[in-house]
Structure 1
Amino acid sequence: MISLAELQRRIDTGELSADAAVARSLDAIRAKDEAIGAFVCHADHLRAANAGPLRGIAVGIKDIMDTAEFPTEMGSPIYRGFRPRADAAVVMMLKQAGASIVGKTTTTAFASIDPTPTLNPHNHGHTPGGSSSGSAAAVAAGMIPLALGTQTGGSVIRPASFCGVAAIKPSYRLLLTVGVKCYSWTLDTVGLFAAGVDDVARGLSAMTGRPELRLPATIQTPRFGIVAQDFAGAPEASGEQALRIAARAADKAGASVRALDLPQIVAEAWSAQPVVQEFEAHRALAWEYREHYDAMAPLLRAKLDETRDTPPAAYDAAIETANRARQALEQVFNEVDVLLTLSAPGAAPEGLGSTGDARYNRLWTLMGVPCVNVPAFVAEGNLPVGVQVIARYGADAKALAAARFVEQALSTAD
């Protein structure tokens, strides 16, 4: 993989020009993407910006985000060849930080559940996850140092786990969704993929102009609460092993690590999340569903068919449950600094018929809290499995620092 931090160091010292750094990513895409299929389209040649903290950093953009230079097709034939007139807000944030937009990465149709043809770079017989399939795979394959994705259920953290990369789903609305195709306005969150936690932190800091998101020179030892999410069902053996390995490494590194039970209302919010998601999806995708029903991706269409008659009262009750759960979760963070839990049930499923299960992600998306994936170990078949570090709403810097603590602890563990 390409380290964003190392690229920045080499560019800043004059060891590598910004143009050469971008050219290397384009060369890597040409060399590797035919086998992986992470990009929908990409530039042939591109000059780097002259200034900015992300100059020389090539970035892939999930293809539900508007880009003026590239089509935005949203993984659907309904939008084939569609050319927006303007960039999405997050794309402009990258450009203003000096980043070079090298292309559009694959997405499931409207960031839902119909898989893309993208392959997992670690094992081509397995899914890279979704819906941000191409962004996770492009970073994992060493094509680009940074990519944008989105998460409505588990579409950043889960593919990051399956592909063995670091990623952050930031606090709700830290990154704007203006110009991003909406699925659920309560849940949709823009996130970042990179090689390591420091790389993710640098990308998010540069985009938002928030220096406090950069990792400090010395990371304070966090208090971890281990959350099994029993309400979401039992994990696979590889997922359980990832959480056990990460918890043991953090404990050995000197952190306070203890099991933690979540309030009952939080478990109820887990059950409420699909109601919120699909009720809002019917409004956000109303034109496509009504005017282009036959062209809708089959799994998404079936899901919308199944949830078409959800009454507004059920949605209102789900929103109320979510609000109460957020208040209860805030109190949990008075006991610990961060939570440590599963990023996915286990390693990436075999085949391309599914992008995997988001059951360990969807609660945290509904809560709006920052989540960071950290690769924990490699399971049979050369398949990575990650864990996620979660902080209270708005404490993105704390989530990143604690994730870096786990990352360092894992790197020195026996």
Structure 2
Amino acid sequence: MKLDNQPWATTLIASRGDAQACASRLAQARARADERDPQLKAFTFRPDHYDGVDHAASKPLAGMPIAVKDLIATADMPTTYGSPVYAGHLPAEDAAIVARIREFGGIVFGKTVTTEFAWRQPGPTVNPWNPLHTPGGSSSGSAAAVGAGIVPLAVGTQTLGSVIRPAAYCGVVGYKPTHGRVPTTGAHPLSQSLDHIGFFANRVDDVALAHALFVDGNPDALASVDAWQAAFTPRRPISVGIIRTSLWSRADDEQKANFEASIERLHAAGVQPFEFELHVDLPVIVDALHTILQVEAHRNIGPVAATHPDKVSDRMKALVEAGAAVPAAKYDEARTLQKELSAQSAAFVGGCDVLVSPPATGGAPRGLDDTGDATFCVPWSFLGMPAVTIPSGRTANGLPLGLQLIGARDADRSVLEFAAWAQAVLPAFG
């Protein structure tokens, strides 16, 4: 595959220093937001003016509008963490990821809706493909803003499935890097042992751009088209491990059928699929993950819930109360298991180039009171392994479905290269 099909990396390289092209990108994003966001409700804040933007800057992201989840601090825009407790809150400084976006010349286009403290209390955002359905959570606004074509790149967070699941629901690409590869400094913690910064775009090639800059810290990869082709080339995996897990029954019939069809397409394109079992049963991982989540959420949000009980949802109160009741020994055991299994992430891949699983149990559920089931994202968040979801089809009522690709820790670039190849093989969505 030639990377001249890749719109943002090559467009940014070609237009670097072109003030008119950079200004045009921002104007297009603003016009699209004005058109779509009154119904979509993806943004909590968009500035009237973008002060200090140098459209002629010779920087990797010059003129690129990027949406940032409202869980992540911005010194010049309100950051509420999805909670009325922090209404109008203006942080003292940018989060680490925001500082990097600005350093590379990107424009923080606006703040996107998050569930309350990245937990299950939904915000007002609707699915860009059907407003009667959830966009997923907790990074609902970021996924919807990309799905609606407002911005080419958005930043979110994932603790359980909050990048991968909403990306699948909104018909876009979601990328969750290896845990810890992108600093979470300045993002309100829900559970530090599980929290990840992640990215949304319409193409794998574009989240690969984010990987080069924010994970590898390699702006030279965008110095020229030749440099970018050397840094990132889609490639076909040879062997793919098919992960269904003992909770396969949670996937609905449409998701199962789409998953099987995706595997058949990959096989027909030269990939060898293997049925693969986790060597630790998923319910064991799920229980340990929830133990860690409950305890760390109690530590991080318990004081706010105690001080402002009238401004904290029942869902959050239940989470922090559960965390208060967890014995210290059980938490320590869960963390020990997490560390031990994370160190064995290569064994989980079992010699395959990449693993594949559904990213969600099906298409986006109807209604806005629930953000969906994160079951098929949980193992990879617990183990800190990189994951990418790509669009792979539609439900009978036109909602997106996806395919999730997973690799060993720190194999992010390989997973992205395999995912970029797979996105070209699977049916285009849009």
TM-score (norm 2): 0.91
Structure 2 unaligned segments of length 5 or more: list them.
Answer: 1-5, 222-226
Match of residue 155 from structure 2: 148
Is 1:22 matched with 2:26? yes
Q: Note closer, same or farther for the CA distance 1:241–1:6 as it changes in structure 2 (3 Å cut).
A: farther
Give the Cα–Cα distance (whole angstroms) in 1 for the partners of residues 234 and 321 of structure 2: 52
Match of residue 168 from structure 1: 175
Deviates more, 1:23-32 or 1:45-54: 45-54
Deviates more, 1:308-317 or 1:106-115: 308-317
Q: Which residue of 256, 275, 283 corresponds with 2:299?
A: 283
Structure 1 counterpart of 2:276, which letter?
Answer: L
* Residues 235-271 of structure 1: CA deviation (Å, up to 9, x unaligned): 1112212321221111111112111111036652233
Q: Note closer, same or farther for the CA distance 1:26–1:372 as it changes in structure 2 (3 Å cut).
A: same
Match of residue 414 from structure 2: 398
Residue 233 (structure 1) shift:
4.2
Q: Percent of counterpart pairs with the same letter?
A: 33
Give the Cα–Cα distance (whole angstroms) in 2 for the partners of residues 381 and 265 of structure 1: 34
Structure 2 counterpart of 1:236, which letter?
Answer: D
CA contact (8 A) 2:360 2:375 kept: yes
Match of residue 43 from structure 2: 39
Give the Cα–Cα distance (whole angstroms) in 2 for the partners of residues 155 and 217 of structure 1: 27
Match of residue 379 from structure 1: 395
Is 1:221 matched with 2:225? no
CA contact (8 A) 2:258 2:392 kept: yes
Structure 2 counterpart of 1:110, which letter?
Answer: F
Match of residue 357 from structure 2: 341
Q: Which residue of 335, 347, 356 corresponds with 2:372?
A: 356
Deviates more, 1:398-407 or 1:236-245: 236-245
- Count of residue pairs the alignment pairs up: 412
Match of residue 54 from structure 1: 61
Give the Cα–Cα distance (whole angstroms) in 2 for the partners of residues 120 and 310 of structure 1: 36
Match of residue 90 from structure 1: 97
Structure 2 counterpart of 1:242, which letter?
Answer: N
Give the Cα–Cα distance (whole angstroms) in 2 for the partners of residues 90 and 139 of structure 1: 18
- SS for the counterpart of 1:75 is coil
Residue 32 (structure 1) shift:
1.1
Give the Cα–Cα distance (whole angstroms) in 1 for the partners of residues 82 and 283 of structure 2: 33
Give the Cα–Cα distance (whole angstroms) in 2 for the partners of residues 92 and 11 of structure 1: 23
CA contact (8 A) 1:265 1:324 kept: no
Structure 2 counterpart of 1:64, which letter?
Answer: L
- SS for the counterpart of 2:89 is coil
Residue 286 (structure 1) shift:
2.5
Residue 307 (structure 1) shift:
3.9
Structure 1 counterpart of 2:239, which letter?
Answer: R
Residue 293 (structure 1) shift:
1.9
Residue 287 (structure 1) shift:
1.9
Match of residue 11 from structure 1: 15
CA contact (8 A) 1:187 1:277 kept: yes
Structure 2 counterpart of 1:33, which letter?
Answer: D
* Residues 46-85 of structure 1: CA deviation (Å, up to 9, x unaligned): 2344121111110111001110110100111100010111
Structure 1 unaligned segments of length 5 or more: list them.
Answer: none
Is 1:195 matched with 2:202? yes
Residue 304 (structure 1) shift:
2.4
Deviates more, 1:374-383 or 1:157-166: 374-383
- SS for the counterpart of 2:291 is helix
CA contact (8 A) 1:21 1:56 kept: yes
TM-score (norm 1): 0.94
Q: Note closer, same or farther for the CA distance 1:151–1:216 as it changes in structure 2 (3 Å cut).
A: same
Computed over aligned residues only, the root mean square deviation of the Cα atoms, in angstroms, reads: 2.2
Deviates more, 1:227-236 or 1:378-387: 227-236
Q: Note closer, same or farther for the CA distance 1:54–1:11 as it changes in structure 2 (3 Å cut).
A: same
- SS for the counterpart of 2:318 is helix
CA contact (8 A) 2:237 2:354 kept: no
Residue 170 (structure 1) shift:
0.2
Q: Note closer, same or farther for the CA distance 1:3–1:77 as it changes in structure 2 (3 Å cut).
A: farther
Q: Which residue of 154, 164, 170 corresponds with 1:157?
A: 164
